[in-house]
Structure 1
Amino acid sequence: MLKFILYSRSYCHLCEDMEVALRALLGDLPYQLEIADVDADPALTEQYDELVPVLTAYSVKGDWQQLCHYHLDTHAVSAFVQEFK
């Protein structure tokens, strides 16, 4: 199953846009999407503060990789999804 974490914050319209675009792109594919509020954790704020939204995915190699930030990179997400087919 595809696993994603979207690092986000509550007042971020880019974050909402990325979530909507990701869900539309993935369609009926089985996936898990966790939304992590960077403002709820000082370590996440330090790491992602000015980059949100940031989309990461759990790769076939068994680690988390960053796919994009600010806007959904449909090519990067599509290439990532192809690794699982």
Structure 2
Amino acid sequence: MRVAAFFTGGAPEVINLTLYSRSYCHLCDDMSAALNAFQSLRSFQVNVVDVDADALLVARYDELVPVLIGHDANGAEIELCHYFLSGDAVRDFLLAQPA
């Protein structure tokens, strides 16, 4: 698992996102890189998880990869997008999280 942390300005709470990915996936690389555009909006950490390392993850996400999941303040997982980054969904999720 790779962890990429993006920090902005000193916000006390770091928002956690999970990017379900695989090593030979150019869409996964594109989504990971596109998340950089949101660095100035809120502090967040992206945990990159290789779905191919876990049969359960393959069963759940195989054809959807890349999949970006947001984790809200209660720990609930919210699918923000798959295949391509939805800037609106990511922005709305980040702004909805407590500061």
User: TM-score, normalised to structure 2's length?
Assistant: 0.79
Question: What is aligned with 2:52?
Answer: 39
What is the match of residue 64 of structure 2?
51
1:14-33 to structure 2, matched below 5 A, reads 14-27=27-40, 29-33=42-46
**Residue type at the aligned position of 2:72:** S
Q: Which residue matches 1:7? A: 20
Give the greater-gyration-radius structure (CA): 2
Q: Which residue of 2 aligns with 1:60?
A: 73
Contiguous gaps of at least 5 residues in structure 1: none
Q: CA deviation at 1:19?
A: 0.2
Q: Percent identity?
A: 46
1 or 2, which has the higher helix percentage?
Answer: 1
Q: State the Cα RMSD in Å.
A: 1.4
**How many residues are treated as equivalent by the alignment?**
85
CA distance in 2 between counterparts of 1:3 and 1:29 reads 11
1:28, distance to aligned residue in structure 2 (A) = 6.5
Provide runs of 4+ in structure 1 moved above 6 Å. none
Q: What TM-score, normalized to structure 1?
A: 0.91
